[in-house]
Structure formats: structure tokens, C-alpha cells
């Protein structure tokens, strides 16, 4: 799936003269979304939008990849912020059901002893007929469980009834291993492109989304830019329109370039009926489906919420869980938290805590609270609560900056 574009952006020159002012980044685009170039005209400026370099492995020490000229541009309007996530987190507070407890369900050894493990190369035999692998007999693993091998489809079919239970159990375990081992890192979009630090959660409270470049800029960087007198977009320097039509035009331009995040965001505008658009959940869902196909993790989350609530689509918890799962495995913190809530509602507190531990360590306070509640009720261990708290605090430390503290202090 195409992911967000990365490009190195160096603000190279500001040229004034004739009827044109050109402010543009020299860049080496590497992949992904097309840059937008708009002509100068009517006092406007040509600009090329490009996206930031890939986040370095060591984020803490990474210097900002941007070199801004000290140009202050006049005109333009107040910054607009857009909420990326359309539903409130309160909707997902865990409801603890103390019922049939599924705690401590660990991986069990395969009970079907007739299923010969396929991993041991020395006695590679067909699980059905016992034929040994040779130059002429090639054995194929059961793709679902990889526990057994067969000499052919006939043997696989003949063995099916006997193997089914062990196969399904192992397949579920493999799926769980993936579910709980992937998505521990927040996605690219959760990082401010200017200071490169992860944005605190909930992100919409701690950042502003710019329709010009679809960049989510942390409030620390946004405020620092304002203090320097820059009222244009601090990332791409597009003057910000002061009306909905202008913002929508910027957004549509990104949508036209198949930017998944812009398409996702347009869906949210349809859902809210904002920017002069007629409210339509049907259209919102359509945009989210398109954005999800193009790789937007936020769109997967939105689709999860829509299916959970039955908003614009039939209510379908299983489908919602599928969307959340896909998003959580790509690092969507809210989706991970919601998966934990789903498991909690089913009484699977052990599974719930496993999810909450992941999202807590990614900086989600609600997940720490969810584990704390379970600890108080004896549904999670003291160690789990301590681990969640410690992980959360480390994540919070990582998200701190002088500018962010300042923005908070000033109530920005
Ligand atoms: Zn066989
Ligand atoms: Zn199998
Ligand atoms: Zn920042
Ligand atoms: Zn911008």
C-alpha cells in the first residue's frame, strides 16, 4: 500500500521581482504523493509542497530537518485547526464486565498428538500417511498452522477431520502473536514534522492540522512560529485562507493528488457537514474506504468507529474490530485502546490488558486508567499496572518540549 510521501525539503530562496514572488523549497522527492505547485498570482506566491524526510531512528537527538529563511509574509488569516478524529474518546471508556473470566489463557501444547510437528527436519513425514520426504516426495506445510506437512492434497484432505482442531488453535495463536507484537510504534503521522517529536494524545488537542499540506503541527511549533511573526503555515508557508471555501479548495487540491490523509480528512468534513459541505455519512464512509485503500491508518480507525456505532453503515462490531485491528497493528493508539475495550466488554480481561499495555506505553492515559481499574478489581496484576504506568510516563517524557510546555502555559 502506498504510504505517505517522504522528501527532503530545504527552503532555498525567496525571490522578489516583477509581478511574481517565488518562495519555494528545493527538494529531492523520493516517493509518494505528488507535490503541489501553485502559480503566483493576485498577490499569491508560488509554492511547492513537499513532505519531510523519513523520521530518523533516534528521534530524540534528531535535528529539525527544516531550514527556514526568515521571511515574514503578510496577509492571511488565523490558523485553523481540524480535528482528525471525529469521535470522542469518552465513547470508548471501558465498561468492566465481571463475568466468565478468560484470564491466564496461555498457549497450550498441541493436544492432537497425531499432528507431527513439521519443524523438526530430521523426521519430516507426511502427517497422514507417514511418507518421508525425499528427492521424489516433496512435503508441503499446512499453511494455516505450519504444524504439519503432507505429501499431497489427498493426504491433507484425509487428515483434515483429525487435524482441524489443532490447526485452528495454532492458527489463532499465530494471529494473536501478530496482533500483540505489531504496531508498538506510532505511525509517521503522529510525529510533528517540525520538531519531529511524537504528538501527545489525543492529538487533536495538542496539534493543528493544516489543509495546505495536511501536516499536523504540534502546538509548541505552531506557537513558536506565531511568536516569530509567521502567520502562514509553519510547514509549507502557504497563506491560510480566512474562509471555508478557501480551506476546502486547499484540501481538494490534496485530495486531487490522492493524498490518503486528505481524503480521510475530507470524509470527516462530510461527517461533520463543515467547510460548507452538506453533511453526509454515506459520503464520509466512501472517502474513508478510499483513504483506507490508499494506506490511511486514520481512515481505518474512522471506519472502525462508524461500524461500531452503526453510523452511516449497519452496526457491526465484528467489522469494527477488524478495522481497529488493522489500524492498531500499524500503530494507531486509539484503535489499540478500543480493541482493549472490546475484549473487556467480552470479559476477556487478560486480552484487554495486553492491548491496554501497548497503548499505555505509546502515551495513552486512558489505557493506564483502564488497567488501573482492573487492578483495583483484581482483574490485572500489580506488575501490569506498574509496567503500564512506567511505560506511559516514559512516553510522556519523550513528548515534552520547551515550546510545548510554553504553549500549554499560555493556553494556546
Ligand atoms: Zn501422505
Ligand atoms: Zn494446519
Ligand atoms: Zn513540533
Ligand atoms: Zn502547509
| 146-166 pLDDT per residue, tens | 999 999 999 999 999 999 999
- Neighbouring residues of the ion ligand 2, judged by CB less than 5 Å: 142, 144-145, 167
pLDDT score for 93? 38
For 200-217, how does the pLDDT look when each residue is reduced to its tens digit (9 = 90+)? 999 999 999 999 999 999
Question: How many angstroms is it from 391 CA to the middle of ligand 4?
Answer: 33
Alpha helices in 135-259 (DSSP H): 153-181, 203-206, 219-227, 244-256
Q: Do 238 and 49 contact (CB within 8 A), yes or no?
A: yes
Question: Which ligand number lies closest to the CA of residue 49?
Answer: 4
Output the pLDDT for position 333: 97
Q: SS3 breakdown of the chain: % helix, strand, coil, rounded to 5?
A: 45, 10, 45
Q: How many Å separate Cα 220 from the centre of its chain?
A: 22
Rg of the chain over all Cα atoms, to the nearest angstrom: 26
- The three three-digit cell numbers of residue 35, written as one number: 507535490
What's the 150 CA to ligand 1 centre distance in angstroms?
5
- Confirm whether 3 is domain-assigned: no
Q: What separation in Å is there between the alpha carbon of 381 and the centre of ligand 3?
A: 36
Does 178 score more than 70 pLDDT? yes
Q: What distance in Å separates the CA atoms of residue 112 and residue 174, rounded to the nearest whole number?
A: 17
Query: CA-CA distance, 157 to 129, in Å (whole number)?
Result: 12
Rounded CA-CA distance 187/314 in Å is 29
The answer to the question of residue 134 being in a domain is yes
CA of 280 to the centre of ligand 2 (A): 45
Ligand 1 centroid to residue 135 C-alpha, Å: 15
Burial class (CB in 10 A: 0-12, 13-18, 19+), 282: exposed
Question: What are 207-250's pLDDT values in tens digits?
Answer: 999 999 999 999 999 999 999 998 899 999 999 898 999 999 99
Whole-angstrom distance, CA of residue 141 vs CA of residue 151: 9
Instruction: Quick: pLDDT tens for 53-83.
Output: 444 443 333 333 332 222 222 233 333 333 3
Q: Which three cell numbers stand for residue 405?
A: 510546555
Q: What is the pLDDT of residues 34-50, one digit of tens each?
A: 333 333 333 333 333 33
Domain assignment of residue 345, yes or no: no
Going from the Cα of 170 to the center of ligand 2, the distance in angstroms, rounded, reads 8
pLDDT, residue 240, reads 87
Q: What is the pLDDT of residue 123?
A: 59
Q: Nearest bound ligand to CA 173?
A: 2
Give the domain range for residue 156. 121-181
239-264: b (≥16 Cβ within 10 Å) or e: bbbeeeebbbebbebbbebebbbbbb
Q: How far apart are CA 181 and CA 329, in angstroms?
A: 8
Q: Which residues surround ligand 4, an ion (CB under 5 A)?
A: 210, 212-213, 233, 235-236, 238
In a domain, 154, yes or no: yes
The answer as to whether 297 is a domain residue is no
**124 — pLDDT class (breaks 50, 70, 90):** confident
Res. 89: pLDDT tops 50: no
- Under the banding of pLDDT at 50, 70 and 90, the label for residue 380 is very high
- Taking the CA of 214 as reference, the closest ligand is 4
Q: What does the pLDDT average to over 181-201?
A: 96
Number of domains in the chain: 1
For residue 191, the CA-to-ligand 3 centroid distance in Å is 8
Which H/E stretch holds residue 300? helix 297-309
Q: Is the pLDDT of residue 112 over 90?
A: no
Extract the C-alpha cell encoding 48.
511547492
Q: What is the mean pLDDT of residues 26-38?
A: 37
133 inside domain: yes
What distance in Å separates the CA atoms of residue 406 and residue 225, rounded to the nearest whole number? 13
Ligand 4 centre from 240 Cα, in Å?
Answer: 8
Ligand with smallest separation from the Cα of 407: 3
Give the mean pLDDT of the chain: 77
Q: What is the pLDDT of residue 6?
A: 31
* pTM score over 0.75: no
Residue 317 domain-assigned?
Answer: no
C-alpha–C-alpha distance, residues 140 and 144, integer Å: 12
d(CA 309, CA 177): 28
The residue length of the chain stands at 412
Where residue 253 falls among pLDDT bands split at 50, 70, 90?
Answer: very high
282: part of which helix (H) or strand (E)? Answer: helix 281-293
Residue 209 pairs with which residues in a beta bridge? Answer: 216
CA of 133 to the centre of ligand 1 (A): 10
pLDDT band at 411 (very low <50, low <70, confident <90, very high): confident
Tell me the CA–centroid distance for residue 139 and ligand 1, in Å. Answer: 8
Q: Let me know if residue 337 belongs to a domain.
A: no
Amino acid at each position: 500500500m502506498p504510504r505517505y510521501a517522504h522528501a527532503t525539503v530545504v527552503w532555498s530562496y525567496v525571490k522578489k521581482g516583477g509581478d511574481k514572488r517565488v518562495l519555494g523549497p528545493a527538494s529531492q522527492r523520493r516517493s509518494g504523493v505528488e507535490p503541489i505547485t501553485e502559480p503566483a498570482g493576485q498577490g499569491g506566491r508560488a509554492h511547492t509542497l513537499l513532505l519531510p524526510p523519513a523520521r530518523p531512528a533516534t528521534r530524540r537527538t534528531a535535528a529539525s530537518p527544516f531550514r527556514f529563511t526568515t521571511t515574514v509574509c503578510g496577509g492571511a488569516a488565523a490558523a485553523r485547526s481540524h480535528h482528525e478524529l471525529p469521535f470522542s474518546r469518552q465513547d470508548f471508556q471501558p465498561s468492566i464486565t465481571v463475568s466468565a473470566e478468560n484470564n491466564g489463557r496461555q498457549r497450550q501444547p498441541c493436544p492432537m498428538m497425531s499432528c507431527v510437528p513439521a519443524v523438526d527436519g530430521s523426521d519430516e513425514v507426511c502427517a497422514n500417511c507417514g511418507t518421508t520426504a525425499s528427492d521424489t516426495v516433496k512435503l508441503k506445510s499446512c499453511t494455516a498452522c505450519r504444524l504439519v506437512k503432507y505429501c499431497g492434497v489427498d493426504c491433507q484432505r484425509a487428515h483434515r477431520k483429525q487435524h482441524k482442531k489443532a490447526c485452528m488453535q495454532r492458527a489463532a495463536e499465530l494471529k494473536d502473536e501478530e496482533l500483540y507484537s505489531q504496531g508498538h510504534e506510532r505511525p509517521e503521522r503522529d510525529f510533528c514534522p517540525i520538531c519531529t517529536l511524537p504528538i501527545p494524545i489525543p492529538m487533536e488537542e495538542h496539534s493543528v492540522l493544516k489543509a495546505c499540506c495536511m501536516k499536523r503541527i504540534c502546538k509548541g511549533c505552531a506557537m513558536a512560529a506565531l511568536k516569530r511573526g509567521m502567520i502562514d503555515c509553519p510547514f509549507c508557508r502557504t497563506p491560510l485562507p480566512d474562509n471555508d471555501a478557501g480551506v476546502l479548495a486547499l484540501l481538494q487540491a490534496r485530495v486531487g493528488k490522492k493524498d490518503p490523509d486528505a481524503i480521510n480528512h475530507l470524509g470527516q468534513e462530510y461527517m461533520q457537514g463543515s467547510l460548507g459541505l452538506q453533511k453526509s455519512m454515506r459520503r464520509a464512509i466512501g472517502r474513508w474506504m478510499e483513504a483506507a485503500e490508499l494506506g490511511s491508518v486514520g481512515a481505518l480507525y474512522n471506519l472502525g468507529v462508524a461500524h461500531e456505532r452503526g453510523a452511516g453503515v449497519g452496526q457491526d462490531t465484528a467489522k469494527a474490530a477488524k478495522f481497529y485491528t488493522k489500524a492498531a497493528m500499524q500503530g494507531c493508539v486509539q484503535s489499540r485502546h478500543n480493541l482493549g475495550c472490546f475484549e473487556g466488554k467480552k470479559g476477556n480481561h487478560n486480552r484487554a490488558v495486553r492491548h491496554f499495555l501497548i497503548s499505555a506505553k505509546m502515551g495513552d492515559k486512558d489505557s493506564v486508567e483502564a488497567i488501573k481499574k482492573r487492578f483495583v478489581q483484581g482483574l490485572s496484576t500489580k506488575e501490569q499496572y506498574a509496567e503500564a504506568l512506567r511505560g506511559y510516563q516514559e512516553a510522556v517524557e519523550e513528548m515534552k518540549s520547551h515550546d510545548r510546555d510554553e504553549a500549554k502555559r499560555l493556553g494556546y
